[in-house]
Amino acid sequence: MSESLIQQGVEIQGLATAILLPSATLFSGERVRTVGSAGPLTQVVGIGLFQRAVLTLQRAGIRQLIVLAGGEEEQLKQALSRGPRVTIPVRWMPVREFPLDDPRTWEALAAEVHGCCLIASITSVFSRPLIESIRRTSHSGEALLVAQPVDKEGCRPGYVPVSVRGERLLGFAAPSGEPVQCVASEMVVVPASVMQGREARGLAGAAVPVRHWLERAAIDGRARVLMTGRHPAEWYQDVRTEADVPLAERRLLSSLKGEFEGFVDRYFNRKLSRWFTRLFLGLGLSPNAITMVATAVGLGAAAGFGLGTYGAGIAAALLFQLAAVIDCCDGEVARLTFTESPFGAWLDIAMDNVVHMAIFGGIAVGAYQQAAGEAHAWVPLTLGAGAILGNALSFWLVNRAQKVKAASRWRTPEHAAWAEFMLQNVASRDFSVVVLIFAVLGKLEWFLWMASAGALVFALLMVWVVRPSAISRAEASGC
């Protein structure tokens, strides 16, 4: 796991290497642990800062890690060996053998870098989109400093103020007489050329020479600043003390969302699901276990609808809404703990469809019991069967559509656009609120008409979208 990509002879394009300093900060040197301070093993939503940083970098496309570790090296290795698998090479370099103030250390590191590298200390949690943005905007021969806007409380002690003009770094001091607008984060990108040769040797004695490199690059006009928070997904949250941990956890939870979300999910279900997500994380439940909990609650709701009384209908509708809330949690826990999997995604969709078909069946049985003995008592059963058939056919077609999407084999851009629209709508949980409204009105049989017609129309539209691409795919394979 420690062999470098250069040793492997792997071709690297763009920013692909990250150097992590778990025992030091970029601008202050060696970290001094005091009461209440956070460290690389500090847990944030059940995962240590170091492990979370490594996994986030891996997901964002970093292909090689170099860790300049201090006395916590063995603990850090053990942390990486647990939980989600680290698949990129990690090279460990003990600081006792490679001191951070020795130019030869950085010259050795430069030999491992192709073009430029990301250097970061372990004092924060950050988003994958932020790293992806850094990778897109990094240019060869140019330094990049990630900076944070100062909040209403002003510049906190220990933070380094930054002077910026547009996207250009001017220096590390606010203009005279002006309030501090932004501060440096513990994350920079530097070209390999500044880590070796004359520039590196001229900085001997600096605890960590990053600040000097950036100042020199700023003088030469080769230093840019990337501000966090330009887009909601590109966020960075400091965790320098234990008091910062709840802030980081709230930031992580607020950043969670599924690939496709409806109005109710975004403004109601997600607000409540975060409380359940905390509970499930505390209980140590896996995402797949949470999926089954949501399924059990949903099937309980279907049984309640089958009783056919007004009160049971209201209770079942509320239970179904609770199942929709819990159904958000499996994806949230998976993203927080880096345990997403293709099987988990399939299981989530499959169990959603099982619950939906059970709900249609339960409402149909309940409506039949209410109309028992009447000439039209067969109508709700027929509508329920139509809704179940349409849902089952739609599930099969959605699986076909996802396979076509994964293979990028849509016949035309129009079919691809329609498929994307359909996939977004099939994943929506918004109709749980519609069920609740009909239950309150005492007209759940009306919902059956809508569900039956909607499921069959959706299935027919999916046939129209998938069939031409499926035929062209079969022709291309020679079948």
pLDDT above 50: residue 56: yes
Residue 422's pLDDT is what? 52
pLDDT above 80: residue 204: no
Residues with Cβ within 8 Å of residue 47, at least 6 apart in sequence: 55, 83, 336, 337, 338
Residue 258's pLDDT is what? 56
Could you give the CA distance from residue 162 to residue 146 in angstroms, rounded to a whole number? 10
Could you give the CA distance from residue 343 to residue 333 in angstroms, rounded to a whole number? 15
Q: Which amino acid is at 471?
A: I
H/E element, 327: helix 310-337
Residues with Cβ within 8 Å of residue 461, at least 6 apart in sequence: 418, 422
Closest CA to 54 of 159, 156, 157, 125: 125
Average pLDDT of the chain?
A: 83
Whether 432 contacts 324, CB under 8 Å: yes
Residues with Cβ within 8 Å of residue 474, at least 6 apart in sequence: none
In this prediction, residue 22 has a pLDDT band, given cuts at 50, 70 and 90, of very high
Q: Which amino acid is at 341?
A: S
Closest CA to 181 of 227, 149, 225: 149
More confident residue, 318 or 421: 318
pLDDT above 70: residue 160: yes
Closest CA to 345 of 409, 393, 399, 415: 399
Q: Which CATH superfamily is domain 256-476 in?
A: CDP-alcohol phosphotransferase transmembrane (TM) domain (1.20.120.1760)
**By CB neighbour count within 10 A (0-12 exposed, 13-18 middle, 19+ buried), where does 358 fall?**
buried
Judged by DSSP in three states, 308 sits in coil
Whether 42 contacts 245, CB under 8 Å: yes
Judged by DSSP in three states, 248 sits in helix
Could you give the CA distance from residue 336 to residue 249 in angstroms, rounded to a whole number? 10
Could you give the CA distance from residue 38 to residue 40 in angstroms, rounded to a whole number? 7
Ordered DSSP codes for 436-449: HHHHHHT-HHHHHH
Q: Calculate mean pLDDT across residues 104-132.
A: 92
Phi, psi at residue 119, to the nearest 5°?
-120, 130
Domain ranges in the chain with CATH number 1.20.120.1760: 256-476
Whether 179 contacts 173, CB under 8 Å: no
| Range with lowest mean pLDDT among 57-66, 174-183, 193-202 | 193-202
165 has which bridge partners? Answer: 168
Closest CA to 52 of 341, 339, 337: 337
More confident residue, 425 or 46: 46
* CATH number of the structural domain 5-252: 3.90.550.10
Could you give the CA distance from residue 271 to residue 263 in angstroms, rounded to a whole number? 12
pLDDT in tens, 222-262: 999 999 988 889 999 999 999 999 999 999 988 886 555 66
Whether 80 contacts 54, CB under 8 Å: yes
More confident residue, 174 or 191: 191
Question: pTM for the complete prediction?
Answer: 0.81
In this prediction, residue 5 has a pLDDT band, given cuts at 50, 70 and 90, of very low
Whether 187 contacts 175, CB under 8 Å: no
Residue 428's pLDDT is what? 59
Whether 456 contacts 386, CB under 8 Å: yes
Residue 75's pLDDT is what? 93
Phi, psi at residue 191, to the nearest 5°?
-70, 150
Domain ranges in the chain with CATH number 3.90.550.10: 5-252
Q: At what angle do helices 444-476 and 342-370 cross, to 10 degrees?
A: 140
Residue 201's pLDDT is what? 47
